[in-house]
Amino acid sequence: MQVARINLKNNTIRPHSNKFKINKKKKFDQNECWIVLKGVLSISLFDIDKSKIKNLILKKGSILITVGGGHSINKSSRNTEIVEIKLGPYDGKDTIYY
């Protein structure tokens, strides 16, 4: 597992998903969990075929767990902080942008 505390400061992150992780010849879907510590996030969730499922607004105290598919951060407030938990390590090469 990899845990990161992230300050988003008015960020947007374009739609993407993460490649499968392979460990001992087994494929693991890259699921993620976010916990909003402060601020507000506008997020879009996408199905595995990249079609949009839903738009969400997450506020302080919100928890979101994704299982497959992708997501984008449409807008964050300038003081948004989140904790992100996912299968690591993240090497910067496992993101697939749409």
The per-residue DSSP string of 40-56 comes to EEEEEEE-TTS-EEEEE
Please give the span between the terminal C-alpha atoms of the chain, in angstroms, as a whole number: 25
Tens digit of each residue's pLDDT, the chain (98 residues): 889 898 988 778 888 887 766 777 777 667 889 999 999 999 999 998 999 999 999 999 999 999 888 999 998 888 899 999 987 776 767 788 88
CA 20 – CA 72 distance, rounded (Å) = 18
This prediction has a pTM of 0.80
Q: What residues pair up with 40 in beta bridges, in sequence order?
A: 59
What's the CATH code, domain 2-97? 2.60.120.10
